[in-house]
Homo-oligomer: A and B are copies of this chain.
């Protein structure tokens, strides 16, 4: 409308006049400042500032007068200006390796939960797994004066790259993925515990010969998972079954690994898979061999991807609620901002087991196709619904609850 019109001689400093009682959309013709409030309320700028910061120094009477003036003039706090002087910005940066993964959007939601409660705001950016882009946005965040950063590092992020992006000097919490040699705070899922959980579950169902499929040799994520797998077996004094890594973590390499494994003699009766995607491939191979997952061979995965509950048979798996991871990450970052000198902290969020049909224990494994509802061949989304009411426990193994 009259956006460019301004309001004639704007801002006479001592006479804010009617800012815009009639103006439908008063267009920031001289955004109202502390000086305006001060003049309107007949006090000094400093006093208004004290009111803004809820200082107990101000007399109740004056405070009300100033509050009224702010309401009258439609004041909007200018945090940038405040920040310039005071340092902190109540702003953090959230740098994600990939926005569109559902996992990360829940993670983001968890972060926002905490930030909103603490009246922080977060910048969000996507690095799309690109190290150069990551560096660029990290610097950009700092230009904007964030108080700290939550970083889900792009693949192949090197510690020195983070140092170079000045993250060494800024409170920074890594989430979901670690960066070797960068001794920062970390929050992530506990894959070892999860693997232990599913393996225990299989053992509880009577399995004694359990194999493991998937994972790239010699890298941390695999050894972490194997640790949990082995731990459960060892506890029950069972032999560690065959461990078949695959070069790539997709359906087809899961398929190939399982096919090869079942071509040998005496195959396992249960398979723990590196993740859900690999598990899907594994089940494919089993079916091809005439074996029914969930009846003839138990299969479990990890991550609880969207398809897991829709698959036939629905996949037993485990996951760490990413929203909880997000919340923990945000809380940790705020603690770190509060006190930058404390030693780095690691928060490992415990997983949650999701029992479905592929391990043969949930309900009538044979009657997969017929539920109580009139849904012969339709994949009902009962799984996600069933999970929701069960609030994930936000307990972290280490680190205080904070607030």
Chain A residues with a Cβ under 8 A of chain B: 1, 3-4, 24-28, 74, 76-81, 83-84, 87, 89, 91, 94, 99-102, 104-106, 108-109, 112-113, 115-116, 119, 121-126, 133, 136-137, 139-145, 163, 166, 168-170, 280, 283-284, 287-288, 306-307, 310-312, 323, 339-341, 374-379, 381
Contacts and interface: CB of A to CB of B under 8 A. Distances in A.
Contact of A78 (B145, B311, B377, B379): B145
Nearest to A288: B374
Contacts of A77: 143
A378 B4 contact: no
B76 A99 contact: no
A287 B377 contact: yes
Nearest to A163: B1
Nearest to A109: B99
A80 to B, nearest CB: 5
Contacts of A105: 99-102, 104-105, 108
Contact of A3 (B3, B166, B283): B166
A133 B89 CA distance: 21
Nearest to A102: B102
Contacts of A106: 99-100
Contacts of A381: 307
Contacts of A341: 1, 3-4, 24-25
Given A4-B341, A144-B80, A169 B109 contact: no
A310 B312 contact: no
A112 B139 contact: no
Q: Chain A: interface secondary structure?
A: mixed
A299 to B, nearest CB: 12
14 contacts: A25-B169, A76-B139, A80-B89, A84-B84, A91-B144, A99-B108, A100-B323, A121-B137, A123-B124, A280-B378, A284-B375, A288-B376, A306-B307, A379-B379
Contacts of A307: 306, 310, 379, 381
Given A25-B341, A166-B76, A374-B288, A379 B99 contact: no
A100 B322 CA distance: 11
Nearest to A377: B312
A308 to B, nearest CB: 11
A143 B27 CA distance: 16
A74 B122 CA distance: 25
A374 B25 contact: no
B163 A25 contact: yes
A3 B339 CA distance: 10
Contacts of A323: 100
A80 B145 contact: yes
Q: What 3 A-B pairs are tightest by C-beta distance, nearest first?
A: A25-B341, A105-B105, A25-B340
A288 B280 CA distance: 29
Contact of A81 (B84, B125, B133, B378): B84
B374 A78 contact: no
B143 A76 contact: yes
A4 B121 contact: no
Contacts of A140: 119, 121
Given A143-B78, A341-B24, A124 B126 contact: no
Given A112-B126, A307-B379, A312-B377, A25 B76 contact: no
Contact of A312 (B78, B137, B141, B378): B378
Nearest to A87: B27
Nearest to A5: B341
A112 to B, nearest CB: 5
Given A80-B144, A105-B104, A74 B121 contact: no
A123 to B, nearest CB: 5
